[in-house]
Structure formats: structure tokens, C-alpha cells
Structure 1
Amino acid sequence: MRQDSVDRMLQEWEATDPALDASPLAVVGRLLLCAGHLERAIVAALAPLELSFGDFNVINTLRRRDEPEGTHPSQLASSALITSGAMTARLDRLERAGLIERRPDRDDRRAVRVLLTADGAQLAERALTAVLAADEAFLAPLSPRRRSQLAALLKPLLLGSEDG
């Protein structure tokens, strides 16, 4: 069977320190390396569209939520796991590019809502197609059955982290 970089790392730890239980690296090392490879593929897929991964996240969150009145920036920041200050900078950039617009909140004069423009919605759709193609290429070695099994195996790990 072919070896990957994690197999080689585990062999090196076994040779260097046989008493060390490095077995968690068999899973965690592969998760981290796979995430890095996939992130690079997604960034490359978005580059021709001149979108960062963060910009993609914002415009497709707006598209997915599909709120006619728009979404509060704080909700976008929460879904993107970034600070409100970082979200403001991202929204400023997307607004300058004509992809989003900010409108006053009808219920709270101090607040704004963020909506996709027509150009933003079109770009969000093209970007999602590009990202899903990168995802599909990454997952190509797995059959649909193995993908389903992997998703089921990863779900408790994610739930445990989200609950914590």
C-alpha cells in the first residue's frame, strides 16, 4: 500500500521515540493536511473570479440566506467566524466592487442590512460552481458510499468541537 506523508511521520516518531503514542496524528495530521490542500484548491478556483475565500463566504452566505430585507453584518461576521471590524472591511471592499449594498434597517435606524446586488448574485453563483468543482475534484478518490461514511465519521468530531 502506498504511503502518505503522515505514514512517514509516524514511522519517524516510532524510530525516534518508540514510547510516544503518536497515533492521533494518523487522523488529525491527515485532517489538517487535507484541509490545507483543499483550501489551496478553493483559493485557486476563486482566483480567476478575483474573489478571496472570505469574500466568497460572505456573498454565498447572503445568497444562501436569501433574506429579502438583507442580513445584519453581525450575523455575517458570526457565520464567517471573524470580528465585526474584519467584516466591516470585507463589506467595504465588496461594496466598492458593486457586489453588495447596505441599506438602513427598517426596524432599527442605527442598523444596516446587507444585500447582494444583481452582479453580486451572479458572481456568487459562478463562484459556488467553481468551489463545488474543486470540492468534487478533491473528493474524486472516494466513492459516494465512502463519502457518506466519511461525513458520518467526521460529524461527531465537528459536533464535539461546536458544542465546546
Structure 2
Amino acid sequence: MADRHGTPPDFADIAVAHWERERPDLDFTAMGTLARFARLHIAGSRRVEAVFAAYGLDRGEFDVLASLRRTGAPHEMPPSQLAEILLITRAGMTKRVDRLEARGLVTRRADPEDRRSLRIGLTPEGFALVDAAVTEHAANENRLLGLLTEDEARAFDAILRKLLTAVEGQPEQPEQSA
């Protein structure tokens, strides 16, 4: 059973066909697409995380170093700003910074404008490590999207942007009780 493009059925087609057989009263139009997107996210994340692991980093540690690096000199900011950028709690940020500081990749120092606040900054070792990692990371991501034509990549990006804007702008729906 091939789809309209002559492609053999994949895991999502099979799951949707099963659901349609079992629950013909429901609309499963979006299920296959979103299942493929979820699997793409998982498989792509594994490839991305393999690059970080080659540099002795996990995704969260890379994100901290990369956030500091891309802000430009002096490559530092308050931990609360880092937490906000990375969408994590301040406690989660403290844990990441603790690990990176123990490895000599970041420093903590008092903020000269507000002695009650801290600034997290890249060390020369952290700067060199994140530069090397981001070089391979960018090449890896380009390889992943290189499977698409330029037009397909632009369309994919536009569609993702549209969906993300809509989903992030919608309040979460409360669960309905059974």
C-alpha cells in the first residue's frame, strides 16, 4: 500500500491505519504528520547530542556556553538572564553553571553595577570549546537539512515558524475529565 506519491507506508501510516480501523469515528488527519515530526525530533536530537558528547558536553551545557558565546564580548550575563533565554528554572541554571565552573569553562563574578548580582562568563577554555563544538554542530545540522532542496528547506522553516507561533500563542487546553 503506497501513498499518493508512491512512497511505501511508514510507521505513522501503519499506526493511523490501525486507529482508523479501530476508531472510524475520529479524525486522524494530523496524527501521521505529527508522529513523523516527533520521530524526526528524536532522531535529529540524537545526532545533535552526539556532536555535543564528542566535546564532553550535554545539550544543556552546550546551550549555556553557546548563549554566552553568541552574545559577543565580554561573553557574560547574569544567570537569571541565561535561565530566561534557555527556558529553564534558576535552580536548573545553577546546576548547569556549577558543572561548567567545576570544569573551568565558565566563571562567576560579582556584577560591578550591582554587587548583589552575579555574572556568568566564558573562560578562554570555554570559549575555545564552544567554538569548536558549534563549528561541528552547524555542519551537522546543515547535513541534516541538506537532504532537502533549498525551496523545501525554506518552506519547512516557514511552516514550522507558523505552527510554533500559533502553538506558543495559544493557552494550553485544560484536560477534560473522563
Bin for the TM-score computed over the shorter chain: over 0.9
Cα–Cα, structure 1 residues 67 and 27, in superposed 2: closer, same or farther, change >3 Å?
farther
Task: Kindly provide the CA deviation profile for residues 62-107 of structure 1, in whole angstroms up to 9, marking residues without a partner as x.
Answer: 0111252720101111111111011001101101111111111011
Tell me which residue corresponds to 1:114: 120
Matched, 1:45 2:59: no
C-alpha distance in 2 between matches for 1:52 and 1:149: 30
C-alpha distance in 2 between matches for 1:159 and 1:58: 24
Task: Kindly provide the CA deviation profile for residues 104-133 of structure 1, in whole angstroms up to 9, marking residues without a partner as x.
Answer: 101111101111111111111111122223
The structure having more radius of gyration, on CA atoms, is: 2
Give the share of equivalent positions with the same residue, in percent. Answer: 35
Higher relative contact order (CA 8 A, sep 6+): 1
After TM superposition, the score normalised by the length of structure 2 is: 0.86
Task: Kindly provide the CA deviation profile for residues 24-63 of structure 1, in whole angstroms up to 9, marking residues without a partner as x.
Answer: 2132212211111111111111111110000010000001
Tell me which residue corresponds to 1:78: 84
* Moved beyond 3 Å, runs of 4+: none
Q: Give the count of matched residue pairs.
A: 164
Of 7, 10, 21 in structure 2, the residue corresponding to residue 4 of structure 1 is 10
Equivalent position amino acid for 2:169 in 1: D
- Structure 2: which 5+ residue stretches go unaligned? 1-6, 171-178
DSSP 3-state at the match of 2:43: helix
CA contact (8 A) 1:69 1:113 kept: no
RMSD across aligned C-alpha pairs, in angstroms? 1.5
After alignment, is 141-150 or 19-28 more displaced?
Answer: 19-28
Cα–Cα, structure 1 residues 96 and 31, in superposed 2: closer, same or farther, change >3 Å?
same
1:26-105 equivalences in 2 (<5 Å):
26-68=32-74, 70-105=76-111
Tell me which residue corresponds to 2:167: 161
Equivalent position amino acid for 1:86 in 2: G
- Structure 1: which 5+ residue stretches go unaligned? none
Matched, 1:135 2:116: no
DSSP 3-state at the match of 1:110: strand
C-alpha distance in 2 between matches for 1:162 and 1:102: 33
C-alpha distance in 1 between matches for 2:154 and 2:12: 23
Of 12, 15, 23 in structure 2, the residue corresponding to residue 17 of structure 1 is 23
After TM superposition, the score normalised by the length of structure 1 is: 0.93
Cα–Cα, structure 1 residues 9 and 50, in superposed 2: closer, same or farther, change >3 Å?
same
